Amino acid sequence: MRFTCSTTTKVASGAGRAVYCHAAGPISHGKIFCRLAALVLVLTLLCPHALATTMDDILSLGMISVKTQYLNPLQAEEREFQSLTALIYEGLFSLDDDYMPQLCLAASCDSTTDGKHWTVRIRPDVYFHDGRQLTAYDVEATINEILRLANAGLGQYNQLKYIVSSVSVNSAESLQITVSRPYYAVRFALTFPVLPKDQVQAAQPAGTGPFKVDQFLPANLLHLSANENYWNGAPTVQGINVEFKATNRELIMDYEYNRIDAAITRSASAGQYQTGLTNLNIAYRTRQLETLLLNDSANAFPLNNVEIRKAIRCAIDFNAIANTVYMGMAKRTDTPMPAGTWMYKDNDAYAYNPEKARQILDEQGWKSNPNRDNGIRYTTVTVNGKQEERRLRLGLYVYEEQDNSVRVQVAGLIADYLAAVGISVHVETVSYAAAAARLQARNYDMAIAAFQMDVVPDPGFLLMPGNTGNYTGYRSTAMDKLCKAMREEREFAQYKQLLWDIQDQFAADCPFICMWYRAGALLTRKVFTTVRDVREPEIMRGIESVGK
């Protein structure tokens, strides 16, 4: 990822290790990270081994896992668990700290002039953990399995079906991939994990990554050891012992009582654990985008009026809500793209401005009388030739996560902010199934809903009519044109500009409101990564090269 604050500070070292702290957010957070760097530096001087690792370290790690029964990454069930399989399996490409695709298992990747056919050459020095050499046949079999799963509505990488149409092997060292979207983002799509051709459906297939599996007991433990024959150099960390817990309470208790060195959690309660003298709380960005959906279908009065939607956007202080409810466990964004990256385009239209919200409502004919109906705004409309008075009352649906009430708190605060400008909001908590049915039928005013964003930077599925994530009824000829142009653009600079143009159009149309990407927390007493962009699902990316 490309961040506006790019200073990288060496904050701790010892026993041949160097640990780095980097500002993982906008420039306004830079001072916080600098203070953290200074704090850890002081700690290191006072206690040289407090946050240092040694070359023969075995890391003990805890995380929640109750569903995962198989290690096969093509059918992952739990997102945190993917941070482990990302150490075992690798793709043709990987994403660097700037969220840019770099060659990994592929030695080269070239496309035809029209961008529809891609020739991939496989690295000759890569071997699976069982000793077999990686070939193009393994890649072919993996792609076909992903497409098979996708056609059945299954699999972790089912978005590949919208990009890759077919694959054929030229030789053991080369294959050709034919794509239906000949655009720059093809490289992002080729980050899927590659499995041996005869193990694509296996419960525990061999991988090519820096760590290999010694033992796996579902919902109990996973032992990984260093792959000494790793093509990119033997890892410096010798092993990782993972203990799986059923609840966050168990996980945090194990960490507090020093039973584990580190804990990975997405629970908002982790926000209470601040970086101190003996541990670090490293926030990582997930792909879970939280949104406030607005029903702007043609007949959805009054939200079919873009000005009313903009008034709602101005009336709510989402930064304050994120800080109050999530305690640092959310990374704000005003568009579908993650803030602080090359993909994100800022826009002043998103600023919290309740006076502007009131002005817009006034201009749209919604009157306010503080002595009437507690200040709820009203207007007059014509129905079947008769004048009728309408109150500005909206419903807000929210579905809750298990053992987590944060969305209900967010909904309550949104209602408070809108009440302050004369919009009455009734909050109703429903099940996930009930919320999904409401969204599918567009039988709602507003809804808090989350989307799991794909590795490919392409928000079109949220914005184009008929696409899987467009629950608002939003239609825009200008937006459709931009999305289609993006899906045909093969050069990075133009692709980035089109992403920015899409976000400008998003700001102008306000089809819905983006609130934040949920964040997770890595609580640790051992700093074990050299990367500056800690993100899901490669939360432990870089552990293999610490100290090199």
pLDDT one-digit tens code per residue, 476-515: 999 999 999 999 999 999 999 999 999 999 999 999 999 9
60 C-beta neighbours (distance < 10 Å), count? 19
**Per-residue pLDDT tens for 394-415?**
999 999 766 567 899 999 999 9
The answer to whether residue 16 scores a pLDDT higher than 80 is no
Average pLDDT over residues 440-445: 96
- Name which residue leads in pLDDT, 142 or 19: 142
Q: What tokens appear for 250 in the block?
A: 């168990």
Q: Per-residue pLDDT for 419 more than 90? A: yes
Highest mean pLDDT among 41-45, 52-56, 257-261, 266-270: 257-261
Residue 249 has phi, psi (to 5 degrees) of: -60, -45
Q: What is the pLDDT of residue 11?
A: 33
Q: How many CA atoms lie within 13 A of 492 on its CB side?
A: 7
Q: Report, as an integer, the average pLDDT of 166-175.
A: 98
End-to-end CA distance of the chain: 22
- 92 pLDDT exceeds 70? yes
**pLDDT value of position 527:** 66
3-state secondary structure of 355: helix
Q: Give mean pLDDT, residues 417-434.
A: 96
- What pLDDT is recorded for position 35? 39
pLDDT tens profile 25-45: 333 444 333 433 443 333 333
What is the CB neighbour count within 10 angstroms for residue 531? 20
Percent of the chain with pLDDT over 90: 76
Residue 482: closest CA among 494, 467, 468: 494
Q: What pLDDT sits at residue 48?
A: 33
Angle between helices 492-509 and 477-486 (to 10 degrees): 160
Q: E strands along 353-494, which residues? A: 378-383, 386-391, 393-399, 424-430, 446-452
CA atoms within 13 A on the CB side of 92: 28
Task: Single out the residue of 205, 323, 329, 264 nearest to residue 83, CA to CA.
Answer: 264
How large is the average pLDDT for residues 111-130? Answer: 97
- For residue 18, pLDDT over 90 is answered with no
Report CA dihedral (143, 146, 147, 152) to the nearest 10 degrees: 170
Residue 222's H or E segment, with its range, is strand 221-226
Q: Give the span between the Cα atoms of 465 and 474, in whole angstroms.
A: 7
What does the pLDDT average to over 234-239?
A: 92
Q: Provide the pLDDT for residue 403.
A: 54
Q: Is the pLDDT of residue 155 over 50?
A: yes
Identify the pLDDT of residue 383. 80
In terms of residues, how long is the chain?
Answer: 548
CB atoms within 10 A of CB 169: 16
Q: What number is the average pLDDT over the span 112-129? A: 97
Give me the mean pLDDT over the 338-365 stretch: 97
| Calpha distance 202→536 (Å, rounded) | 24
Say what the pLDDT of residue 530 is.
75
pLDDT number for residue 285 = 92
* Predicted local confidence at residue 270, as pLDDT: 73
Burial class from Cβ neighbours inside 10 Å (0-12, 13-18, 19+) for residue 449 reads buried
**DSSP secondary structure letter of residue 353:** -
Asked if residues 195 and 131 have their Cβ atoms less than 8 Å apart, the reply is: no
CA separation for the pair 24, 40 (Å, rounded):
17
Res. 461 pLDDT band, cuts 50 70 90 = very high
pLDDT beyond 80 at 382: yes
For the chain, what is the mean pLDDT? 88
- For residue 250, pLDDT over 80 is answered with yes
Which is more confident, 372 or 392?
392
The residue ranking higher by pLDDT, 432 or 16, is 432
SS3 for 293-328, per residue? Answer: EECCCCCCCCCCCHHHHHHHHHHCCHHHHHHHHHCC
pLDDT-based confidence at 14, cuts 50/70/90?
very low
Q: What domains are there in the chain, each with its CATH number?
A: 90-189 (3.90.76.10), 288-519 (3.10.105.10)
pLDDT of residue 17: 32
Instruction: Specify the pLDDT at position 118.
Output: 98
Query: Residue 404: what pLDDT?
Result: 60
Of 134-143, 224-233, 342-351, 401-410, the range with the lowest mean pLDDT is 401-410
Confidence of residue 529 (pLDDT cuts 50, 70, 90): confident
pLDDT, residue 402, reads 61
